[in-house]
């Protein structure tokens, strides 16, 4: 259902006219499409990476314990993950341009609410609205690029620029977040999003309308999926602080029931959000597990270390952000290495080595304590960033090599959703570990050992159960592969 589009657009006169008007945009219109898409990805990537170093300042200003800080991050990531599966269908029904405009405007408004938030609950609610808006923006920005750039070579260059801008935003996010927090306070991080969002909307006004296509909206499945994710995340957060006590069992039961209803609904849908072919594909299952682990360790470490540097080591927000800069900067370098080596060695080899390097980088954090210089910590984090850059692109190419081309877009959405869920669970677990009375450092080391074990396990699963997947031979699949690689070049954030 979700991102699977009918092969033919609606045959009404209006749809034909719209399709024709947007099928061959002028060169200037193409540039406006790209510039506007860059704005959205920059916003999502920057916001996701900048906020981590501002958590202690948020707690000091408006209160809230560790569980509240966890929800500042997880509230955004959960809604981003949950609504990613349905973003494509809204783009089909309303047109990519309109949905993108709704997402960009919504992100700007939600950012303004974050800036004005009087308390932690209001901030968490606004962060969840940001996540929903980001889920609308990310896939539709790529859809606009695909509509504007008909030539495959031009489209590849546009997506490469789109990806590079996201990488720059991720790398600069902690430094910018730390500098802004130190200079003007954490609220200004969110206020900066507003003029950038308005710029994106101004650029969008110069773009032609997008075609619409009939697509069913599965609201019951979407709501049950969101309920399941929120329930299990709250259960993990509560269990980390209070143990297996009320309301943890009740939340886990509610989550299990919601997941049961979700998959029951999926089995009855002609176009399910999660096609059964994905669950029957070995490459899909392996890459989903690996993607979950990669995001869990990377963003879990960023969350925990951002707090550790400031609350234990006494670093300023600027210095805490600067420690992450080398790690984030070598992430795109791993992407470049993959482009050169994947055809020679295959995706499996690079995916295994990427996970092992990440496990090494995380394990090196066991050597860090209160006396470790900031520059040395930054160097020890380099394998974590480079390994992530090495592992992420093969995730998508392997996935798309193991599923039918007609569900390629949906499969990429499922993978991206599971990666975001991995981030949520890691933050939920690590927040509980580092807030234990035994001490922050002991909890951090327990989390590090858990992350190393998970990545080692998924690397072994990848090596044993994943065969070398040949490169797709047809142009349409290559196009989908290129786009999905860009979608899964995380941000995110991606998104955070």
Cα(353)–Cα(334) distance, integer angstroms: 11
Q: What is residue 437's predicted lDDT score, i.e. its pLDDT?
A: 53
Let me know if residue 423 belongs to a domain: yes
Q: Please tell me the distance from the alpha carbon of residue 339 to that of residue 164, in angstroms, as a whole number.
A: 14
Which two structure tokens, joined as six digits, stand for 367? 């050597």
Stretch 32-61: mean pLDDT:
89
Q: Which 3-state string (H, E, C) describes the chain?
A: CCCCCCCCCCCCHHHHHHHHHHHCCCHHHHHHHHHHHHHHHHHHHHHHHHHHHHHHHHHHHHCCCHHHHHHHHHHHHHHHHHHHHHHHHHHHHHCHHHHHHHHHHHHHHHHHHHHHCCCHHHHHHHHHHHHHHHHHHHHHHHHHHHHHCCCHHHHHHHHHHHHHHHHHHHHHHHHHHHHHHHHHCCHHHHHCHHHHHHHHHHHHCCCCCCCCCCCCCCHHHHHHHHHHHHHHHHHHHHHHHHCCCCCHHHHHHHHHHHHHHHHHHHHHCCCCCCCHHHHCCHHHHHHHHHHHHHHHHHHHHHHHHHHHHHHCCCCCHHHHHHHHHHHHHHHHHHHHHHHHHHHHHCHHHHHHHHHHHHHHHHHHHHHCCCCCCHHHHHHHCHHHHHHHHHHHHHHHHHHHHCCCHHHHHHHHHHHHHHHHHHHHHHHHHHHHHHCCCCCHHHHHHHHHHHHHHHHHHHHHHHHHHCCCCCCCCCHHHHHHHHHHHHHCCCCEEEEC
Model pLDDT, residue 457: 97
Mean pLDDT of 15-28: 45
Would residue 474 count as lying in a domain?
A: yes
Burial of residue 154 (CB within 10 Å: 0-12, 13-18, 19+) is middle
**How sure is the predictor about 334, in pLDDT bands with cuts at 50, 70 and 90?**
confident
Say if residue 448's pLDDT is above 50.
yes
Domain presence at residue 138: yes
Q: Is the residue at 130 inside a domain?
A: yes
First to last CA, the chain: 26
The per-residue pLDDT for range 375-387, each reduced to its tens digit, is 999 999 999 999 9
Residue count of the chain: 496
pLDDT score of 10 more than 60: no
Asked if 218 contacts 263 with a C-beta cutoff of 8 angstroms, the reply is: no
Span 326-335, mean pLDDT? 87
**What tokens were used for 428?**
């939920």
CATH assignment at residue 153: 1.20.1250.20
Predicted TM-score of the model (pTM): 0.84
Percent of the chain with pLDDT over 90: 49
Average pLDDT over residues 461-486: 53
Total structural domains in the chain?
A: 1
**Confidence at residue 28, expressed as pLDDT on a 0 to 100 scale:** 62
pLDDT given for residue 105 in this prediction: 96
pLDDT of 416 strictly over 70: yes
Q: Quote the mean pLDDT of the chain.
A: 84
- Per the model's pLDDT, the better-predicted residue between 489 and 288 turns out to be 288
Phi, psi of 136 (to 5 degrees): -80, -35
Q: How would residue 154 be classed by pLDDT, with cut points 50, 70 and 90?
A: confident
Comparison of pLDDT for 259 and 485, the residue scoring more = 259
Tally Cβ neighbours within 10 Å of residue 83. 22
Specify the higher pLDDT residue, 351 or 333: 351
- Residue 415 placed within a domain: yes
Average pLDDT over residues 147-164: 81
Note whether residue 261 is domain-resident. Answer: no
Q: What is the pLDDT of residue 26?
A: 52
- Give residue 493's pLDDT: 35
Spatial contact of 86 and 222, defined as CB atoms under 8 Å apart: yes
Instruction: Check whether 217 has a pLDDT greater than 90.
Output: no
Domain range enclosing 351: 24-207+274-495
Strand-pairing partners, residue 493, are 495
Higher pLDDT, 496 or 160: 160
Question: In this structure, what token pair is assigned to residue 52?
Answer: 């981590």
Determine the Cα–Cα distance for residues 98 and 104; give it in Å rounded to an integer.
10
pLDDT attached to residue 7:
32
327 pLDDT above the threshold of 50: yes
pLDDT of residue 396: 79
The answer to whether residue 255 is domain-embedded is no
Predicted local distance difference test score (pLDDT) of residue 479: 35
Could you tell me the pLDDT band of residue 295, with boundaries at 50, 70 and 90? very high
Please give the angle made by the CA atoms of 305, 80 and 389, to the nearest 5 degrees. Answer: 50
Q: Which of 397, 154, 144 is nearest to 290 (CA)?
A: 397
Q: Is residue 48 part of a domain?
A: yes
CA dihedral 411, 412, 418, 421 (to 10 degrees): -140
Rounded Cα gap, residues 124 and 55, in angstroms: 12
Q: What percent of the chain has pLDDT over 70?
A: 88
172-to-53, 68, 104, 125, 388 alpha-carbon distances in Å: 12, 25, 21, 26, 17
455 within 8 A of 383, measured Cβ to Cβ: no
**Which pLDDT score is estimated for 230?**
93
Whether residue 318 contacts residue 296, with contact meaning beta carbons closer than 8 Å, is answered with no
pLDDT band with cut points at 50, 70 and 90 for residue 31: confident
Q: In whole angstroms, give the CA distance from residue 299 to residue 395.
A: 17
């Amino acid at each position: 259902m979700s991102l699977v589009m009918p092969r033919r657009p609606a045959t009404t006169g209006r749809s034909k006219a719209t399709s024709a008007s947007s099928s061959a945009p002028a060169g200037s219109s193409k540039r406006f499409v790209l510039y506007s898409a860059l704005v959205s990805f920059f916003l999502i990537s920057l916001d996701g990476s900048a906020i981590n170093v501002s958590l202690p300042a948020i707690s000091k200003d408006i209160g809230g314990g560790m569980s509240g800080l966890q929800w500042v991050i997880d509230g955004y990531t959960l809604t981003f993950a949950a609504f990613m599966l349905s973003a494509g269908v809204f783009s089909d029904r309303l047109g990519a341009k309109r949905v993108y405009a709704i997402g960009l405007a919504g992100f700007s408004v939600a950012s303004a609410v974050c800036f004005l938030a009087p308390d932690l609950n209001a901030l968490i609610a606004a962060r969840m609205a940001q996540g929903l808006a980001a889920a609308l923006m990310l896939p539709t920005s790529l859809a606009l690029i695909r509509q504007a750039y008909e030539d495959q070579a031009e489209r590849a260059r546009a997506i490469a620029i789109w990806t590079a801008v996201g990488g720059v935003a991720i790398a600069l996010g902690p430094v910018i977040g730390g500098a802004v927090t130190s200079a003007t306070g954490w609220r200004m991080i969110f206020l900066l999003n507003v003029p950038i969002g308005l710029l994106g909307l101004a650029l969008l006004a110069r773009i032609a309308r997008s075609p619409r296509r009939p697509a069913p909206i599965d609201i019951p499945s979407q709501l049950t999926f969101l309920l399941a994710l929120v329930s299990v995340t709250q259960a993990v957060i509560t269990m980390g602080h209070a143990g297996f006590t009320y309301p943890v069992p009740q939340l886990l039961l509610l989550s299990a029931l919601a997941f049961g209803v979700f998959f029951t609904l999926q089995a009855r849908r002609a176009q399910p959000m999660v096609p059964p072919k994905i669950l029957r594909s070995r490459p899909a299952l392996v890459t989903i597990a690996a993607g979950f682990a990669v995001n869990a360790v990377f963003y879990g470490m960023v969350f925990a270390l951002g707090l550790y540097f400031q609350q234990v080591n006494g670093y300023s927000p600027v210095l805490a952000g600067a420690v992450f800069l080398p790690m984030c900067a070598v992430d795109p370098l791993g992407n470049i290495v993959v482009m050169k080596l994947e055809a020679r060695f295959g995706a499996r080899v690079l995916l295994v080595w990427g996970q092992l390097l990440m496990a090494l980088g995380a394990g090196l954090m066991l050597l860090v304590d209160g006396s470790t210089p900031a520059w040395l910590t930054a160097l020890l984090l380099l394998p974590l960033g480079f390994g992530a850059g090495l592992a992420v692109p093969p995730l998508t190419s392997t996935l798309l090599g193991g599923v039918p081309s007609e569900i390629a877009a949906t499969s990429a959405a499922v993978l991206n959703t599971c990666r975001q869920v991995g981030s949520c669970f890691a933050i939920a677990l690590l927040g509980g570990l580092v807030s234990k009375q035994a001490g922050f450092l002991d909890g951090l080391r327990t989390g590090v050992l858990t992350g190393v074990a998970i990545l080692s396990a998924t690397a072994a699963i990848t090596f044993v159960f994943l065969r070398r997947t040949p490169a797709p031979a047809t142009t349409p699949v290559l196009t989908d592969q290129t786009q999905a690689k860009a979608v899964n070049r995380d941000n995110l954030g991606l998104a955070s």
